[in-house]
C-alpha cells in the first residue's frame, strides 16, 4: 500500500482508519436506532408528543394482548427447548455414544433455513392437510401450539451451541477429585456438572427467549389469528403506515433483548472465571447404560428435527399434498405463483454474497484496528461499543430503525431505500456482533507483540496485517464469511421492511407465496435456500480441510 | 569528567520518567543513563516497573511524564517506528506463517534493497546465531532455544543502535538458558550493540550485565556493576533480592559496632545511625568464615552446628552461637570444607563474620 509514499505517518493512517470505522458504525447502527427512539416520541406528523404513543399502546387492548401472547409463546418455547438442548449437549460432550458428529450436524439443520421453514414443515405434518393431523386430536396447529413447536425447532440449535460450549468447558480434575472421594453419579451431576453449566443455561434461555419473541417468520406463517409483537410491528408499519406505533412496538421488543444482552455478558464473565488456566479437559469414560440411553434420546430428537425439515423438502416436490404424492418440479416454477419468480433467489444470492464479502472485510479490519492498535484508545473503545450493540437489537427492531432512517425525507441517503445496498448494510449491521466477536477471539489468540516487533523493524502495521495477521486468521475470516452468508440467505425479520419491487428476496418470497396459499412453492423456495446454505457450509468444511492443509503448512509441527 | 561529558557520552538518557496505570504508579521519576555499547539489566520482582520502563524506552507504552533521548535525539514523543531499536520478547513473537529466513528478513524487505543483498544479510545473521541451515523451516518446527535465536537475529537485522530484550530467556529450560545467556553475552560484546535486558532472574543479570539496574515499586533502588550490587547493596531490598541475605535485628553501639542479642559485631563502615537506634545487620551465608578462623579474627564466635541442608555444591548450616540469647545464623559451607573439616550436626566450632561483609540497614526496611 502506498500510504508511506503519500507522506502519511502510521499514526495518521491508523487515526483515519479508526475514524472511518467509527463513522460507518454510527451510520449503520447508532443513527437508525436513534431514529427509532425519536420516532416513538413523535406523532404521525413528526411533532414531539412525549410518551403519548406509549400511553396509547397501553390503552390498546389488542396490542397489550399481543404482548402477553408473545411472552407466553416465548416462555413456553424456552421451557421446552432448554431441557432438551441441555440433554442433547450433555450427550454430545459428556458421553462416549457413537455417531456424535452426525447428531451434532442434524441438530444444526434449522440454522440453514429461514425460521418460517420450521412452520411450513409443521403445517405439512400437523396442519389442516397434514399427514399426522389426527395426532392433534382436534386442536388447531394454527396459533400458539404451532408457533411454540416451530420456534422450538428453529431455536434448538442456538441453545445447543451455547450449551455444548458451556459443557465442554469442564475441568476434568473436578471429576477426578469427586470420583476419588467416591461421589455418586447423581451427586456429581447436581454438584459439579450442573453448576458448571449454570451460566450457559442462563445465557441459552435468554437467547432462545429473545429469538422467539422477536421472530417474525413463524407467527406470520403459522400464527393464524394469534397476534404477537413481531406481527404487530409489521402490521403497524407496513399495513397501517403508523410509524410511531411501530416504533413503540419495536422498543417493547427491545426490552427482552437488551436484558438478555446484559445477563449474557455477566454470565460469560463468570463462566470464564470458573475455568482456570490450569484446568485439564474432561474425557468421559465408557458407561454402557448412560451412553445408550443418551444415544436413544439424541436419536429421537435429532431424527425429529431432520424428519420435520425433510417433510417440508419432500412436500416441495409433491404434486398435491397429501392427496397426490407423485413427485414433480412444478412447485419450483416460482413464476406461476409469484411474479418475481426465481429473481428473489438471485437477489438473495447477491445479498448474501455482498454481505459476506463486504461484511467480512469491514468487520475483520475493524476488529483488527480495535484490538491491535495502541493509539486512540477512546475511539477504539467507542467503536467496540457500537460493534457490540447489534447483539442487543433484534433484526425486526433494526429493520424498523432502517425504515425510519433511510426512508426519511431529510436524509440524503434515502435514495438507497429499497435498493440491495441498504439491505446489505442492514444485514451486516444485524449480524455484526457475532462476526466481530469471532474476529476478536482469533485476533486475541495472536501474539500481541507482533505490532510492536513490526514497529521496531519499521514495518508499518498494515503490512504486518496483510502478511501475517490476516493469513493467520484465515480460518476465522472464512467462519465470519460463511456465518454472514448463511444468515443473509435465511433472514426475514429486518429485510422485510427494506426490500423494493426489484429487490425482493427469496425468504420474503416465501412469506408472500405462503400468504397466497402456495405452501408447496413456499416450501420449495425454503428448500432452495436451505440447499444453498448447506452447500456453502460444506464448501467451507472442504475448503478448510483441503486448501488450508496446504496453505497453512506452518501449522504442522 | 563533567556533567556535560556524562550526558554526551550516554547513548540512552532517561529523565524524570513517570507512568501510571489507573491509580497504580508503575514508574516514579526514573532517571537513567546507559553508555554506548553497554549491556544493562533491569532486575526486579514482577510488578516492579522494569518491563514498563523498557516499553516506555521502546515507545510501546508511552510514559506520562519525563523525557527519553536515544543517541542524542529526543524521542520522548516519537512512535516506536521512529526510534532506533530492535526488540526480543519473552514470547519471541515470531511470525508463525513465515519461514525463519522471512522472519529474519522482515525488517529488511521494507527498506527496498536489492533481493540479493537481503538474502546475503539474512544468511549472515542466521550464521551469526548458529542457525545457518534452518532458514527454510517455520518457527513452529524449531526448539525454544532456536526460536529465541531467530528472534534475536530478526531484532539485529536492521543493525539497530539499541537492542531491547524483554525476559528473552525465561521461557527456556534451565540448561538451555545458561548456554544461551553466554552466547548472547558473547554476541553482544562482538557486535558492541547497546543492550538493555529485562529479567527477574538475578543470576542471569549477574552473569550477563555490565551494569544492573535494580528496581522495586516503580523506582530504581540501585545502579551498579554486578559486583557492586552483590557486595555493596545500597538498600535492604537490593540486599534481600540479590543473592541470599540473613537479616538480624541489631542495636547500634558505636560508630562501627552493633549488638545482636548478646553478640557484639564490628562493622567495616559507619552504621550511619545514632547509638542506641535499632538497625538490621545483614550478612550473606557464604560470607561466614568457617575454616582457618584466626584466634584474633574480628567477630569470632563459637557456634553449635544445627540443621544441615544439603544443597549440592554446598551445605547450608544453621549456626547457633553458644553465647546465650544469640540468634541462629545461616552459613554456607562448601562441600570441600564439609569434607575437610568433617562438619556434623552438634559440633561446636569457631566461626567469624568478616566486618567488610556485614551491612547495616535502617530497621524500617524488611
Is there a single domain that holds both residue A446 and residue A362? Answer: yes
Q: Which three cell numbers stand for residue B24?
A: 497504580
Q: Which residues of chain A lie closer than 8 angstroms to B160, CB-CB?
A: 456
Helix (H) or strand (E) holding A373: none
Is there a single domain that holds both residue A341 and residue A231? Answer: no
Residues 6 or more apart from A251 whose CB is under 8 A from it? A36, A37, A40, A397
**CB distance B60–A374 less than 8 Å?**
yes
Residues 6 or more apart from A122 whose CB is under 8 A from it? A130, A141, A146, A149, A150, A153, A222, A308
> Which of A263, A284, A317 is at the close of a domain?
A317
Residue at grid coordinates 547495616? B360
Cβ–Cβ < 8 Å for B110, A463: yes
Is there a single domain that holds both residue A83 and residue A181? Answer: yes
Residues 6 or more apart from B235 whose CB is under 8 A from it? B221, B222, B361, B365
Minimal CA separation from B207 to chain A, in Å: 27
Between residues A274 and B327, the one the model is more confident about = B327
Helix (H) or strand (E) holding A320: strand A318-320
Does residue B21 sit at the A interface (CB-CB below 8 Å)?
Answer: no
> Which of A317, A352, A373 is at the close of a domain?
A317
Q: What is the arithmetic mean of pLDDT over A41-67?
A: 85
Q: Which residues of chain B lie closer than 8 angstroms to A447, CB-CB?
A: 89, 91, 93
Residue at grid coordinates 475514524? A19
Closest-CA residue to A524 (of A509, A503, A538)? A509
Backbone angles phi, psi at B31, to 5 degrees: -115, 140
Angle value at C-alpha B238, between B237 and B241, nearest 5 degrees: 85
Is there a single domain that holds both residue A342 and residue A415? Answer: yes
Q: Which three cell numbers stand for residue B203?
A: 543470576
For helices A474-490 and A519-551, what crossing angle results, to 10°? 170
Does residue A4 sit at the B interface (CB-CB below 8 Å)?
Answer: no
pLDDT score recorded for residue B111? 67
- Residue A323 in any domain: the answer is no
Is there a single domain that holds both residue A44 and residue A69? Answer: no
Residues 6 or more apart from A319 whose CB is under 8 A from it? A325, A326, A327, A328, A330
Is there a single domain that holds both residue A449 and residue A529? Answer: yes
- Residue A431 in any domain: the answer is yes
Instruction: State the CATH number of the domain containing residue A292.
Output: 1.10.3720.10
Q: How confident is the model at residue A549 (pLDDT cuts 50, 70, 90)?
A: low
Q: Which three cell numbers stand for residue B123?
A: 544468511
β-bridge mates for residue B266, sequence order: B257
Query: Distance between CA atoms of B334 and B339, rounded to whole angstroms?
Result: 9
Cβ–Cβ < 8 Å for A478, A435: no
Query: Distance between CA atoms of A129 and B137, rounded to whole angstroms?
Result: 66
Does residue B107 sit at the A interface (CB-CB below 8 Å)?
Answer: yes
Between residues A74 and A171, the one the model is more confident about = A74
**CB distance A554–B97 less than 8 Å?**
yes
**Residue to substitute from A453, A477, A556, interface B, most B β-carbons within 10 A:** A453
**CB distance A557–B140 less than 8 Å?**
yes
Cα nearest neighbour of A372 on chain B: B60
**CB distance A452–B85 less than 8 Å?**
no
Q: Which residues of chain B lie closer than 8 angstroms to A554, CB-CB?
A: 96-98, 138-140
Domain that holds residue A524: 10-50+329-557
Surface of A (134-193) touching B: CB under 8 A: none
Write the residue in A457, A553, A557 that is nearest to B107 by C-beta: A457
**CB distance A450–B93 less than 8 Å?**
yes
Task: Tell me the per-residue pLDDT of A469-514, one tens digit each, with 9 for 90 and over.
Answer: 998 888 889 999 999 999 999 998 889 889 888 899 999 999 999 9
Q: Which residues of chain A lie closer than 8 angstroms to B81, CB-CB?
A: 10, 455-456, 458, 460
Minimal CA separation from A364 to chain B, in Å: 19
**CB distance A453–B85 less than 8 Å?**
no
Helix (H, G, I), strand (E, B) or coil at A325: strand
**CB distance A455–B157 less than 8 Å?**
no
**CB distance B154–A452 less than 8 Å?**
no
Query: Mean pLDDT score of chain A, rounded to an integer?
Result: 87
Residue at grid coordinates 472485510? A361
Residues 6 or more apart from B296 whose CB is under 8 A from it? none
Closest-CA residue to A196 (of A90, A95, A85, A291)? A90
pLDDT score recorded for residue B50? 94
Q: How confident is the model at residue A554 (pLDDT cuts 50, 70, 90)?
A: low
Surface of A (359-378) touching B: CB under 8 A: 374
Task: Tell me the per-residue pLDDT of A221-235, one tens digit each, with 9 for 90 and over.
Answer: 898 889 998 888 888
Domains contained in chain A, number:
2
Q: Which residues of chain A lie closer than 8 angstroms to B106, CB-CB?
A: 454, 457, 459
ipTM value greater than 0.85: no
- Residue A1 in any domain: the answer is no
Q: Which residues of chain A lie closer than 8 angstroms to B60, CB-CB?
A: 374, 452, 455
Helix (H) or strand (E) holding B144: helix B144-156
Is there a single domain that holds both residue A306 and residue A443? Answer: no
- Residue A4 in any domain: the answer is no
Is there a single domain that holds both residue A82 and residue A15? Answer: no
Surface of A (427-456) touching B: CB under 8 A: 447, 449-450, 452-456
Task: Tell me the per-residue pLDDT of A331-340, one tens digit each, with 9 for 90 and over.
Answer: 898 888 888 8
Q: Point out the least confidently predicted range of A14-28, A261-275, B179-193, B314-328.
A: A261-275
Query: Distance between CA atoms of A389 and A386, rounded to whole angstroms?
Result: 5
Residue at grid coordinates 435514495? A415
Does residue B112 sit at the A interface (CB-CB below 8 Å)?
Answer: no
Cβ–Cβ < 8 Å for B188, B195: yes
Q: Which three cell numbers stand for residue A2?
A: 502506498
**CB distance B79–A557 less than 8 Å?**
no
Which own/partner contact pairs does A461-468 have at CB distance under 8 Å and 24+ positions apart?
Answer: A461/A10, A461/A14, A461/A372, A461/A373, A462/A1, A462/A3, A462/A13, A463/A1, A463/B110, A464/B95, A465/A365, A465/A368, A467/B95, A467/B98, A468/B95, A468/B97, A468/B98
**CB distance B106–A457 less than 8 Å?**
yes
Is there a single domain that holds both residue A280 and residue A394? Answer: no
Angle value at C-alpha A329, between A328 and A334, nearest 5 degrees: 135
Does residue A556 sit at the B interface (CB-CB below 8 Å)?
Answer: yes
**CB distance A467–B98 less than 8 Å?**
yes
Encode B77-130 in three state secondary structure: CCCHHHCCEEEECCCCCCCCCCCHHHHHCHHHHCCCCCHHHHHHHHHHHHHHCC
Q: What is the arithmetic mean of pLDDT over A184-189?
A: 81
Query: Distance between CA atoms of B197 and B41, rounded to whole angstroms?
Result: 5
DSSP string, B297-345: -TTEEEEEEEEEEE-SSEEEEEEEESSTTPPPEEEEEEHHHHHHHT--T
Q: How confident is the model at residue A343 (pLDDT cuts 50, 70, 90)?
A: very high
DSSP string, A106-119: HHHGGGGS-HHHHH
CA B138 to chain centre: 33
Query: Distance between CA atoms of A154 and B181, rounded to whole angstroms?
Result: 61
> Which of A293, A317, A341 is at the close of a domain?
A317
Does residue A553 sit at the B interface (CB-CB below 8 Å)?
Answer: yes
Between residues A184 and B195, the one the model is more confident about = B195
Q: Point out the least confidently predicted range of A134-143, A311-320, A358-367, B117-126.
A: A134-143
Domains parsed from chain B with CATH numbers: 3-240 (3.40.50.300), 244-362 (2.40.50.140)
Query: Distance between CA atoms of A250 and A236, rounded to whole angstroms?
Result: 10
**Residue to substitute from B64, B96, B143, interface A, most A β-carbons within 10 A:** B96
Cα nearest neighbour of A11 on chain B: B79
Minimal CA separation from B149 to chain A, in Å: 15
Query: Distance between CA atoms of A438 and A424, rounded to whole angstroms?
Result: 20
Residue at grid coordinates 476434568? A172
pLDDT score recorded for residue A273? 54
Minimal CA separation from B4 to chain A, in Å: 30
Task: Give 10-residue mean pLDDT values along chain B (366 residues).
Answer: 54 94 91 95 93 93 93 90 91 92 89 84 92 91 92 93 92 88 92 94 93 95 94 90 90 89 86 84 90 86 90 89 84 88 87 90 67
Closest-CA residue to B122 (of B94, B88, B99)? B99
Q: How far apart are the first and last CA of chain B?
A: 37
Closest-CA residue to A291 (of A96, A100, A99, A104)? A96
**CB distance B140–A374 less than 8 Å?**
no
Between residues A149 and B327, the one the model is more confident about = A149
pLDDT score recorded for residue A382? 92
Q: Which residues of chain B lie closer than 8 angstroms to A552, CB-CB?
A: 97
pLDDT score recorded for residue A2? 43
**Exposure letters B211-238 (e unless 16+ CB within 10 A, then b):** bbbbbbebebbbbbebeebbeebbbbbb
Query: Distance between CA atoms of A473 and A392, rounded to whole angstroms?
Result: 26
**CB distance B158–A472 less than 8 Å?**
no
Backbone angles phi, psi at A338, to 5 degrees: -140, 120
Q: Which three cell numbers stand for residue A344?
A: 428473489
Does residue A470 sit at the B interface (CB-CB below 8 Å)?
Answer: no
pLDDT score recorded for residue B364? 65
Query: Distance between CA atoms of B66 and B18, rounded to whole angstroms?
Result: 6
Between strands B211-216 and B219-224, the pairing is antiparallel
Task: Tell me the per-residue pLDDT of A89-118, one tens digit each, with 9 for 90 and over.
Answer: 999 988 888 898 899 999 999 999 999 899
Cβ–Cβ < 8 Å for A220, A400: no
Cβ–Cβ < 8 Å for A302, A99: no
Is there a single domain that holds both residue A349 and residue A274? Answer: no
Query: Distance between CA atoms of B311 and B330, rounded to whole angstroms?
Result: 13
Between residues B366 and A215, the one the model is more confident about = A215
For helices A61-94 and A100-108, what crossing angle results, to 10°? 170
Query: Distance between CA atoms of B77 and B83, rounded to whole angstroms?
Result: 10
Angle value at C-alpha B179, between B176 and B180, nearest 5 degrees: 80
**CB distance A456–B155 less than 8 Å?**
yes
pLDDT score recorded for residue A279? 56
**CB distance B95–A467 less than 8 Å?**
yes
**Whole-number percent of chain A with pLDDT over 70:** 93
Closest-CA residue to B283 (of B243, B313, B334)? B243
Query: Distance between CA atoms of B362 and B346, rounded to whole angstroms?
Result: 34
Q: How many residues make up chain B in this entry?
A: 366
Q: Which three cell numbers stand for residue B94?
A: 515470531
Is there a single domain that holds both residue A250 and residue A370? Answer: no
Size of interface A-B (CB pairs under 8 A): 81
Minimal CA separation from B222 to chain A, in Å: 29
Q: How many helices (H) and strands (E) does chain A have?
A: 26, 2
Is there a single domain that holds both residue A469 and residue A366? Answer: yes
Amino acid at each position: 500500500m502506498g500510504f508511506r509514499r503519500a507522506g502519511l505517518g502510521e499514526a495518521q493512517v491508523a487515526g483515519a482508519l479508526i475514524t472511518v470505522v467509527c463513522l460507518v458504525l454510527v451510520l449503520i447502527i447508532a443513527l437508525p436506532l436513534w431514529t427509532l427512539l425519536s420516532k416513538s416520541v413523535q406523532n404521525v406528523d413528526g411533532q414531539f408528543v412525549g410518551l403519548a404513543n406509549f400511553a396509547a399502546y397501553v390503552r390498546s387492548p389488542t396490542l397489550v394482548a399481543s404482548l402477553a401472547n408473545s411472552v407466553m409463546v416465548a416462555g413456553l418455547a424456552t421451557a421446552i427447548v432448554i431441557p432438551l438442548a441441555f440433554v442433547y449437549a450433555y450427550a454430545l460432550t459428556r458421553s462416549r455414544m457413537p455417531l456424535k458428529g452426525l447428531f451434532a450436524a442434524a441438530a444444526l439443520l434449522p440454522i440453514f433455513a429461514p425460521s418460517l421453514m420450521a412452520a411450513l414443515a409443521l403445517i405439512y405434518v400437523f396442519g389442516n392437510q397434514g399427514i399426522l393431523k389426527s395426532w392433534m386430536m382436534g386442536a388447531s396447529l394454527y396459533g400458539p401450539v404451532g408457533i411454540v413447536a416451530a420456534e422450538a425447532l428453529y431455536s434448538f440449535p442456538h441453545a445447543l451451541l451455547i450449551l455444548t460450549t458451556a459443557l465442554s468447558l469442564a475441568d476434568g480434575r473436578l471429576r477426578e477429585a469427586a470420583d476419588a472421594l467416591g461421589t455418586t453419579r447423581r451427586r456429581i451431576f447436581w454438584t459439579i456438572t450442573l453448576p458448571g453449566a449454570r451460566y450457559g443455561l442462563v445465557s441459552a434461555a435468554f437467547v432462545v427467549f429473545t429469538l422467539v419473541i422477536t421472530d417474525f417468520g413463524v407467527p406470520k406463517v403459522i400464527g393464524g389469528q394469534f397476534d404477537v409483537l413481531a406481527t404487530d410491528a409489521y402490521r403497524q408499519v407496513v399495513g397501517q403506515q403508523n410509524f410511531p406505533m411501530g416504533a413503540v412496538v419495536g422498543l417493547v421488543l427491545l426490552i427482552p433483548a437488551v436484558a438478555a444482552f446484559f445477563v449474557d455478558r455477566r454470565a460469560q464473565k463468570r463462566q470464564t472465571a470458573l475455568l482456570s488456566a490450569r484446568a485439564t479437559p474432561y474425557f468421559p469414560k465408557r458407561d454402557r447404560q448412560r451412553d445408550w440411553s443418551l444415544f436413544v434420546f439424541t436419536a429421537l430428537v435429532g431424527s425429529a428435527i431432520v424428519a420435520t425439515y425433510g417433510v417440508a423438502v419432500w412436500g416441495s416436490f409433491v404434486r398435491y399434498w397429501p392427496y397426490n404424492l407423485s413427485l414433480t418440479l412444478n412447485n419450483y416454477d416460482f413464476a406461476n405463483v409469484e411474479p418475481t419468480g426465481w429473481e428473489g433467489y438471485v437477489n438473495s444470492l447477491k445479498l448474501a454474497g455482498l454481505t459476506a464479502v463486504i461484511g467480512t472485510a469491514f468487520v475483520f479490519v475493524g476488529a483488527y484496528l480495535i484490538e491491535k492498535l495502541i493509539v486512540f484508545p477512546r475511539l477504539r473503545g467507542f467503536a467496540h461499543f457500537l460493534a457490540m450493540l447489534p447483539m442487543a437489537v433484534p433484526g425486526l427492531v433494526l429493520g424498523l430503525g432502517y425504515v425510519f432512517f433511510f426512508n426519511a425525507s431529510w436524509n440524503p441517503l434515502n435514495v438507497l431505500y429499497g435498493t440491495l445496498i441498504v439491505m446489505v448494510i442492514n444485514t451486516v449491521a444485524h449480524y455484526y456482533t457475532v462476526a466481530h466477536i469471532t474476529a476478536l477471539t482469533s485476533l486475541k489468540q495472536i501474539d500481541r507483540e507482533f505490532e510492536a516487533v513490526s514497529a521496531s523493524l519499521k514495518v508499518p502495521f498494515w503490512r504486518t496485517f496483510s502478511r501475517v495477521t490476516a493469513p493467520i486468521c484465515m480460518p476465522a475470516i472464512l467462519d465470519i464469511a460463511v456465518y454472514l452468508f448463511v444468515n443473509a440467505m435465511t433472514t426475514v425479520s429486518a429485510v422485510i421492511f427494506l426490500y423494493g419491487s426489484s429487490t425482493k428476496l427469496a425468504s420474503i418470497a416465501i412469506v408472500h407465496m405462503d400468504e397466497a396459499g402456495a405452501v408447496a412453492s413456499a416450501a420449495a423456495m425454503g428448500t432452495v435456500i436451505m440447499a444453498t446454505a448447506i452447500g456453502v457450509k460444506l464448501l467451507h468444511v472442504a475448503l478448510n480441510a483441503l486448501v488450508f492443509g496446504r496453505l497453512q503448512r506452518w501449522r504442522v509441527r | 569528567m563533567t556533567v556535560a561529558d556524562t550526558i554526551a557520552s550516554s547513548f540512552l538518557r532517561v529523565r524524570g520518567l513517570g507512568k501510571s496505570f489507573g491509580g497504580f504508579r508503575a514508574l516514579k521519576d526514573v532517571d537513567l543513563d546507559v553508555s554506548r555499547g553497554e549491556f544493562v539489566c533491569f532486575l526486579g520482582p514482577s510488578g516492579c516497573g522494569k518491563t514498563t520502563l523498557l516499553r516506555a524506552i521502546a515507545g510501546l507504552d508511552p510514559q506520562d511524564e519525563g523525557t527519553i533521548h536515544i543517541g542524542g535525539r529526543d524521542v520522548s514523543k516519537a512512535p516506536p517506528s521512529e526510534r532506533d531499536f530492535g526488540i526480543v520478547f519473552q514470547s519471541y513473537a515470531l511470525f508463525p506463517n513465515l519461514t525463519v529466513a522471512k522472519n529474519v528478513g522482515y525488517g529488511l524487505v521494507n527498506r527496498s534493497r536489492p533481493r540479493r543483498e537481503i538474502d546475503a544479510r539474512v544468511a549472515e545473521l542466521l550464521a551469526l546465531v548458529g542457525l545457518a541451515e534452518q532458514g527454510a523451516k517455520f518457527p513452529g518446527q524449531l526448539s525454544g532455544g532456536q526460536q529465541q535465536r531467530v528472534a534475536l537475529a530478526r531484532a539485529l537485522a536492521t543493525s539497530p543502535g539499541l537492542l531491547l530484550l524483554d525476559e528473552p530467556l525465561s521461557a527456556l529450560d534451565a540448561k538451555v538458558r545458561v548456554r544461551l545467556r553466554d552466547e548472547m553475552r558473547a554476541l553482544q560484546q562482538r557486535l558492541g550493540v547497546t543492550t538493555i535486558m529485562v529479567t527477574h532472574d538475578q543470576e542471569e543479570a549477574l552473569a550477563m550485565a555490565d551494569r544492573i539496574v535494580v528496581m522495586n515499586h516503580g523506582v530504581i533502588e540501585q545502579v551498579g556493576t554486578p559486583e557492586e550490587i552483590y557486595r555493596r547493596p545500597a538498600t535492604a531490598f537490593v540486599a534481600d533480592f540479590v543473592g541470599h541475605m540473613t537479616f538480624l535485628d541489631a542495636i547500634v553501639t558505636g560508630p562501627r559496632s552493633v549488638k545482636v542479642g548478646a553478640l557484639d559485631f564490628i562493622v567495616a563502615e559507619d552504621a550511619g545511625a545514632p547509638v542506641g537506634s535499632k538497625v538490621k545487620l545483614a550478612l550473606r551465608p557464604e560470607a561466614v568464615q568457617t575454616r582457618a578462623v584466626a584466634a584474633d579474627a574480628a567477630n569470632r564466635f563459637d557456634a553449635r552446628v544445627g540443621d544441615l541442608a544439603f544443597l549440592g555444591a554446598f551445605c547450608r548450616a544453621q549456626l547457633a552461637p553458644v553465647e546465650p540469647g544469640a540468634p541462629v545464623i545461616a552459613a554456607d559451607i562448601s562441600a570441600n570444607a564439609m569434607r575437610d573439616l568433617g562438619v556434623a550436626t552438634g559440633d561446636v566450632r569457631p566461626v567469624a563474620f568478616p566486618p567488610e561483609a556485614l551491612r547495616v540497614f535502617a530497621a524500617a526496611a524488611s
